[in-house]
Each structure stands twice: as structure tokens, then as C-alpha cells.
Amino acid sequence: MTPSMTPKEYLNQAYKIERRINIIGAKVSKLRSQLEYKGISYDGSGASHGTADSDGMSCTIADIADYERRQRELADVLIAKRFEIESVIDSVPNAAQREVLERRYLLYQRWESRFDERTGEYVKGIAEEMGFSRRRIFQIHGEALKSIALNCIELHL
């Protein structure tokens, strides 16, 4: 953890990396769909256009390969960061505090339960999973962040 970074910012790094990976994945999907349009271009006689279209297709394929390489690199960074964050969470002595941190920053759970309209499923939040009120979960979370801040100061992280 860098000196200018708060414990919460530090713990949120894995989530931010994963979001970047998902955005790159969306870009790859978009480029793949554009390839379909480039691949079916015909002139009036039914023949395929010349090298201009194939050059454009080659560039798009190269872009996809670049994005996929970047996605794999970020996946490696994500795995390393998750292990690092998990190690910091494991340094918290209180089991309830560790569980709140793991659920929030490694499993990306929300604080409260909700109905997911996209999947049609009821998703339990941290409070319901742990059997605490929302207010108590926030208290435990705050105490856990303080514990991490103290541990980092002691370890000079």
C-alpha cells in the first residue's frame, strides 16, 4: 500500500483491474462484430472488394490480438493483486472483519440484498449473509479498515 493510498483505495484495486479487463473484453466483442461487416462487403458484380477491405480486416484482427494480449496481462496482474490483498486482509485479527473485507473486496458483494433483474435471481448482500444489520456491517467494515491502516503503518507498507 502506497503512503498516499487509503486502505479502501488499496482494497478496491482488484475490482478496478477486473473492470478494466471486462471493458477490454467488450472492446474485443465489438471489434469481432465489426469483422462480420468487413467480411461481407461486395461490389455490384458480387465480387469481393480488393486489398483495401482485406487491409482493414487485417488491422482489425491485429487490434483484437493486441486487446486479447493486454487482457491476459491484466488477468495476471489481477491474480497477483488479489493474492496481495488477501494477504493484507488475513493480517486483520478479527474474523468478522476479515469476512466483511473478503466479501466486499474479493467477492465484490454488495452491502445489502437485492433482486437482480438481469438474471432474475435474489442476491444476498453481506449484511444478510452474515446475519447483521446494515449499520453493524458498516461498523465492522470501518473497524477493519482501521486495523489495516494500523497494520500497514507497523509493517511500513
Per-residue pLDDT of the chain (157 residues; tens, 9 = 90+): 666 789 999 999 999 999 999 999 999 999 988 887 765 555 555 555 455 556 778 888 899 999 999 999 999 999 999 999 999 999 999 999 999 999 999 999 999 999 999 999 999 999 999 999 999 999 999 999 999 998 876 554 4
Cell 473478503, residue? 102
Look at phi and psi of residue 5 and say left if phi exceeds 0, alpha if psi is from -120 to 50, else beta. beta
Q: State the fold for domain 92-157.
A: Arc Repressor Mutant, subunit A (1.10.10)
Provide the CA 97 distance to its chain's centre, in angstroms.
22
Distance CA 138, CA 129 (A): 14
Q: Are 26 and 68 in contact (CB under 8 A)?
A: no
Distance CA 48, CA 51 (A): 9
Q: What is the pLDDT of residue 1?
A: 67
Q: What is the pLDDT of residue 36?
A: 77
Distance CA 7, CA 102 (A): 13
Q: What is the pLDDT of residue 2?
A: 67
Q: What is the pLDDT of residue 43?
A: 53
Q: What is the pLDDT of residue 51?
A: 52
Distance CA 4, CA 2 (A): 6
Q: What is the pLDDT of residue 156?
A: 47
